[in-house]
Structure 1
């Protein structure tokens, strides 16, 4: 190599280093010293601990503490704030160009932001003050002049934050956690191609012996006279063009990272003091969501004169969403009640219209005509004038008067069960399984939210909009599932069925619930020992990677006849496997690859994107079901399908890792993929924004980590973990999936990921002695 070339390389490296240092200096926030800001009424300190978690202390007012939360959200997550807002507004094309147009059309048609605008006037005066204080804090952070790299790359600056922006993101969360619309579309396609009986093949009902969150003796008074609604005898037929139009919304949502992940869910549970070593409750929670960069959650500790909460916030929301205050702890998992219905509007139905103008970077504006019936937006025409039957969406989250913000702010203040449930009365959606514990030793559970009452149908399929299938209001709050200080001292939720048959209301049809594997495994572990539980033992349950799916499928899979030497060797690997899905496991990789192929057995009937769940696979293999048959592949029995899919799986793994099984391991392909929503697939910069690491767990393990079809990556999982010890709240634990900073060059962009993968936690403490090395920024009141 010549001297001139060496000098050129050196100059390039120096310039690159200088560019990185400049970018860091102009994008990393100010975290020390003092700054005077209008909007705070007294001095506020923001002490960031060794992991970048802000501990906010405001003495003059609670509003000052919430102002500071908005300020640090803007400092550390400005891009996330703006991107999430653009998603709710349907304004991605404005900065990302034409590739985002389909997403904007979906978002504008559903009208997430319009609905958020109608929610603001319904909030309590306290909530309005808190939202206004948060808005002022975000805008003060925006004005500090530190630009997130994404803004520099795309060439724009964020607009000022508004109060409506703080409400809008909850609408997208409600969509992500309320997938009955998707089930109805799949159900309509299934009935059209396979008949009514095909529904149970593609979307099997919840097993009769599957665990329920509440037992019959824990149901609220007056809710045990069973009057369940019948399923539809038949569904109206929709043409393929209409089904394709409905499906286009699903594809747009998937591009946004929303829904369509079998096995996605969450876990939470609460144990009474009678079961713990300390004599006080232990509460655990780990919500399973998309693993993005930056991570969804932002850990924070808020202390005002009366507001004293710590846990996980979401940038854009002025509250701790999951966590504890000085007396009460709470956790959430998704209930997934059926709160969406598709109505096929008769010809001549009166519709209203509005025109949405979508600005597209580098192109002409796009006009989108959105039509609505009395049920809701027409989501089947994509703005076209004549496409056949029009299908409207009715959904609780699109109804006016959403006061969910009141509920979350109320939880931050709740001091006991009465105040906790009073706050939940305001909750609209997405309906969540709230587990509760307090320092007095009480435990509880509530499933709040608006759940429609249907008469004469179960909501599983599209219905006529002729007025014969209308909601008859919502379930009364007192009759929603709940329990306080249950006799057995244990509540376990994992998106499983909430109530037994004795409950007289229909929260959802039997195909809505998650498969029972996670709930069963957690229950088995937590009841294996009657008392003496510690936080460390609870941690091990939260991180459990034992597969009950394997346990169910094992005898059926091991009976397969291998085709070829590689299949034979792979099957032998499985014979001695205990089902623990570790990073180093070879059998775990083989099993997940094989299961992935088996889950595609309905593609002949319903198209290449269709993936059935593991329970459907089990049912087919047990009964030599029709889905095993594939005319295109020449398969007529489940035995033949087992042979063929095993060979497909190991051939795929061989292509990726070579034919020597000694060189295979789960972690070589199964890696967490915390992907940036805008630049995650842009090869030139994705290396800077994305974060990856080998991870354990699999399909429906407690530490859920289902591999993505085609890549084996883990794209969803425990986005946040917490374990709260009510005997000594400052000994509680929490951790996020990535890091506090959204800046790819920041000090805390991914420092929690290594801990998260290893099953380690941060101290969930309000005591400065637990914070490690700190740095403090003081906010002073200004005019």
Structure 2
């Protein structure tokens, strides 16, 4: 018999390879001496030669059960608990190696009359497919309309149902998103297992859609109102939505801070030519060593490249700085377009907010001796909730936790081996480039369907770096700067289902870390397992930038643009079992060597950050109980700092809300007031703050969940700090206004929180991690205004107390979280706190979780049907979680039945 390399080879399936679906592609490669006319094939001794086609020098066939393919699967069932949460369970049969084993045999003759037969044994196990088909069906049953909106937002097809108001949003998504061909190529490049999970999930959606087609009375209210029915889902829909979801969770992906930084720098150069260098450095510092970190200095054993620049150098602004382009107009247009896109997405509940707090505490700090993990992902308060909760115990998977409709897999959860969190991280993922017209090419022309009017043609232009985002629409005779968007996660965003599966199946820290490597989004990850370990990672691709570049600005603005290599990345931040006994944070800095964001002012970290609450509590506590670590979430989320929207009846507030800034200035502010001389109003203010518990809600712990009013002390310090910031910066930085001329409470793109840190840098003088180079307290425009920190502090307090009429208000409402449906309007309200959308707390014993509790808003179901009178009929589980969530009362969740302790 001839050698296989001489006559024939089975390219697919590979020997002992597991197949996950009910059809299998067979690829057989004959070599030159072979005679194709003599080819024959058998599957489990049943001849299947006629199933093959001769294509491009290969024999190809797709076979199924009708061809003798043996298929194994567990029997999958789905049940629901009293709140509507779904539980997917397999029967646990382990006969797959008997029932799903297949033998493929192929034969061919050579031209020299030699013969060759090859055999391949492979397994077909559909258990994984059926488990995720059941997940897709369960989610579609509850969230068909929500998932439709998510899919359309990612695919840029909102205008097809909502009309021309969504045209700008669709154009943005088509421009910065993947083409149909790129999605198809990305899907085909995934592993067989990932493709099976995605295909199964889509099939589950389509099973529910078929049911609705057969029974129009089951068509959700929103579809009936809008006058259309959903099309079938496919794998490319899931990839597109998965990519957009990850960008929602990336601080830099959708931001434009490099562009706005260029406008800030240009303004400072023109207005303060003698001081602009130092002023810009003060406002956009690179790395403050005083900022709170997830990993302490003792754990930060990182190579030099982890500092972000190969040379460690932070740009090269100097007195010779010349800007090669004026980006004021481009910045204004880009900012307006972004605001419009986000506004439309929020209006239809398609925007997912970013933020999250978490802590993993080792057994040496807990009363039980077991590690405990708390995870609180903050994703806003849409209708229905952004998430669902579920449990899968089938196909070798044992996992429960939080999922996002449209994405197959548990994103935040727990298994018999471990539990984990995800919180928005801050890898440097985005750079803007100023391009030449010669670099631009037409990538494709997209057709956007628009309800009520003719289709719109959208030419999508790119450079080798990425999509053109200014001007839009692009035209080659423009005088407007040509700006491209380069994203480090581009082309790497399709593995989210595989990452979720890998993290769910992991049986060791290292295996879990392999799942983290698959995530194409920057996330802080806290982890605890049954072996007593706790760990931390920050995921995300962060390319090492070439030295000498000024990455706080678009490349090409100061000098020739510098390009980074997509394959040369900074090491992931990672730590295990620290001496401190905990990892924890609230979207703060990863490690001491990790610099501030290039393209996001939200992650310019200073001495004040809301994460100080977590760090202080965990450092100062021992013998922590499950209840203490659970209830600490209510404690920290009823603090508040610098909310963007002072009318808290319409949240969300700032992404940097929460925390107690008074702790950072109490001494300096008190000393300044006392030195200026006490008046009754000043004395009253200081006495009020002296007894304050640091919370924004009045009444103490018993009122944190349901109290109706803001603490008077909080109202005082919030107004006082805002006035200090105004008096300090209004003479240098104009305040930003929205399209209606209303103050956005930011100054040239600098938030109140960022400017408060600039003030702290000045007040801390030589002890500060950053030394300011400009005297921000001086007022060069008005010599009669306060000219130093103490005078500003006192003047600000006097202004506030005068505005209060000498009496600090005690009747300021705490605010409410208002839940708006995109068609029906307001449906629910709950007491405001800066809380998470989902919460889980897991105590890990030697045999797995010994206690799990969780909560989320509204209910598991988002399904609404149309009543006979045209009114809405809400699913029984639409609001079933409100008694738990609104009172901040976590509920027990079933643990796993794992009876083997570690080491046995």
Do the two structures share a fold, i.e. TM-score over 0.5?
Answer: yes
Match of 2:713 among 570, 587, 598: 587
Deviation string 1:323-364 (CA, Å, 9 cap, x unpaired) is 011112111112111110000002432422422222222233
Corresponding residue of 2:32: none
Q: 1:212 corresponds to which residue?
A: 293
Aligned to 1:538: 629
- Secondary structure of the structure 2 residue equivalent to 1:342: strand
Distance 1:557 1:147, change over 3 A: farther
Between 537-546 and 151-160, the greater mean CA deviation after superposition:
537-546
* Bigger Rg over Cα: 2
Equivalent position of 2:526 in the other structure: 435
State how far apart, in whole Å, the 1-side matches of 2:192 and 2:801 are: 61
CA distance in 1, matches of 2:779, 2:178: 42
The match for 2:693 is 578
Change (3 A) 1:202 1:613: farther
Say if 1:192 and 1:237, in contact at 8 Å, map to a contact too. no
Residue 389 and residue 423 in structure 1: after superposition, are their counterparts in 2 closer, same or farther (change >3 A)?
Answer: same
SS in structure 2 opposite 1:577?
coil
- Residues 57 and 468 (structure 1), Cα distance of their counterparts in 2 relative to 1, 3 Å cut: same
Q: CA deviation at 1:322?
A: 0.4
Question: Corresponding residue for 1:189?
Answer: 263
How far apart are residue 286 of structure 1 and its match? 1.0
SS in 1 for 2:826: helix
Contact 1:79/1:150, CA 8 A, preserved across alignment: yes
In the aligned structure 2, how far is the partner of 1:735 from the partner of 1:353?
Answer: 45
Provide the residue aligned with 1:74 in structure 2.
Answer: 140
Specify the alignment match of 1:483 in structure 2: 575
Look up the SS of the partner of 1:740 in the other structure: coil
Which whole-Å CA distance do the structure 2 matches of 1:615 and 1:68 have between them? Answer: 47
Q: Partner of 2:85 in structure 1? A: 53
SS in 2 for 1:464: coil
Quote the residue 1:500 is aligned against: 592
Task: Provide the C-alpha distance between the structure 1 equivalents of 2:359 and 2:522, rounded to a whole number of angstroms.
Answer: 17
Q: CA deviation at 1:729?
A: 1.4
Cα deviation digits, residues 173-220 of structure 1 (max 9, x gap) = 332232334221221221111244443454455542222222343235
CA distance in 1, matches of 2:724, 2:858: 32
Offset of 1:55 from its aligned partner?
Answer: 1.2
1:552 is paired with a residue whose SS is helix
Which of these residues, 497, 500, 508, is aligned with residue 408 of structure 1?
Answer: 500
Preserved contact between residue 286 and residue 314 of structure 2 (Cα < 8 Å): no
Deviates more, 1:565-574 or 1:758-767: 565-574
How many pairs does the alignment contain? Answer: 689
Query: Structure 1 residues 301-310 or 93-102, which shifts more?
Result: 93-102
Matched, 1:273 2:363: yes
Equivalent residues of 1:351, 1:371 under 8 A apart: yes
Measured in 2, the distance between the counterparts of 1:95 and 1:598 equals 48
Q: Gapped runs of 5+ residues in structure 1?
A: 1-38, 680-684, 697-704, 706-716, 769-783
Q: 1:53 to 1:254 in 2, by over 3 A?
A: same
| TM-score, normalised via structure 1 length | 0.79
Q: In the superposition, relative to structure 1, how do residues 661 and 449 fare at CA in structure 2: closer, same or farther (>3 Å)?
A: closer
Structure 2: distance between partners of 1:391 and 1:51: 50
Q: Which residues of 2 match residues 651-670 of structure 1 at below 5 A? A: 664-667=811-814, 670=815
Q: Report the CA distance shift for 1:141/1:475 in structure 2 as closer, same or farther (over 3 A).
A: same
Which secondary structure does the structure 1 equivalent of 2:411 belong to? strand
Q: In 2 relative to 1, CA 569–401 (structure 1 residues): closer, same or farther, beyond 3 Å?
A: closer
Q: Is the 8 A contact 1:213 1:496 kept in 2?
A: yes
| Higher fraction of helix | 1
1:691-732 CA distances to partner (integer Å, 9 max, x unpaired)? 322223xxxxxxxx2xxxxxxxxxxx4121111110261511
1:126 CA drift (Å): 0.7
- 1:741 corresponds to 2:857: no
Distance between the aligned counterparts of 2:302 and 2:793, measured in 1? 49
- RMSD (Å), alpha carbons: 3.8
User: Which is further off, 393-402 or 596-605?
Assistant: 596-605
Q: Is the 8 A contact 1:729 1:765 kept in 2?
A: no
Offset at residue 101 of structure 1 (A): 2.1
1:264 deviates by 5.9
* CA deviation vs aligned residue, 1:397-451 (integer Å, no higher than 9, x gap): 3235743332121111111112212222322x21111222211212222223221
Q: Report the equivalent of 1:525.
A: 617
Query: CA 1:538 to 1:732, structure 2 compared with 1: closer, same or farther past 3 Å?
Result: same
Which residue does the alignment assign to 1:237?
Answer: 325
Distance in 2 between residues matched to 1:467 and 1:278, nearest whole Å:
59
Query: What TM-score do the two structures reach when normalised by structure 2?
Result: 0.69
Aligned to 2:829: 692
Inter-CA distance 219–614: structure 2 relative to 1 (3 Å threshold):
closer
Which secondary structure does the structure 2 equivalent of 1:267 belong to?
Answer: strand
Q: Please point out which of 355, 362, 382 is paired with 2:452.
A: 362
Match of 1:136 in 2: 203
Aligned in 2, Cα 1:352/1:635: closer, same or farther, shift over 3 Å?
farther
2-structure distance, mates of 1:236, 1:286: 44
- Equivalences for 1:184-583 in 2 at 5 Å? 184-194=258-268, 195-203=276-284, 207-220=288-301, 222=303, 227-233=311-317, 234=321, 236-255=324-343, 256-257=345-346, 265-385=355-475, 386-399=478-491, 402-427=494-519, 429-456=520-547, 457=549, 459-464=551-556, 468-475=561-568, 479-501=571-593, 512-514=603-605, 516-530=608-622, 532-545=623-636, 546=639, 547-554=659-666, 574=689, 576-582=691-697, 583=707
Where does the alignment leave 5 or more consecutive residues of structure 2 unmatched?
1-70, 94-126, 213-217, 269-275, 640-658, 698-706, 738-742, 764-773, 865-873, 898-904
* CA distance in structure 1 between the partners assigned to 2:387 and 2:877 by the alignment: 13
Checking the alignment, whether the CA contact within 8 Å between 2:433 and 2:561 is kept in structure 1 is: no
User: Residue 44 of structure 1 aligns with which residue?
Assistant: 76
Does residue 801 of structure 2 align to residue 675 of structure 1?
no
Is 1:173 the counterpart of 2:245? The answer is yes
> Post-superposition shift, 1:520?
2.1
